[in-house]
Amino acid sequence: MNTGEGASRARRVLAKAASPLPEGCLRLLERDLSRVLADYFELKEVRLRVQSKDGIVVELTAEAERARPFGVLG
């Protein structure tokens, strides 16, 4: 899956989801976003939290060892 496909899939999942998102949907979204970020960073951990407030609030926290060098992406 490329970056554009991952972002499109994430938007579709969020658009269809009821609030709060089911656990399986959260894991799927977290996995997709991790794959996109892994193209740019050497990841240690990714955490996703989705809350219902005035709409849906999505909080993504990622910890990385370093950014990937330019020219080594993908």
Question: pLDDT tens, 4-25?
Answer: 677 777 766 766 654 567 888 8
How many Cβ atoms are within 10 Å of 33's Cβ, its own excluded?
19
Query: What number of residues does the chain have?
Result: 74
Q: Are 33 and 6 in contact (CB under 8 A)?
A: yes
Q: Are 22 and 50 in contact (CB under 8 A)?
A: no
For 31-58, what is each residue's pLDDT tens digit? 999 999 999 999 999 999 888 878 888 8
What is the helix (H) or strand (E) element at residue 3, kind and residue range?
A: helix 3-16
pTM of the model: 0.65
Provide the strand spans (E) within the chain. 41-53, 55-67
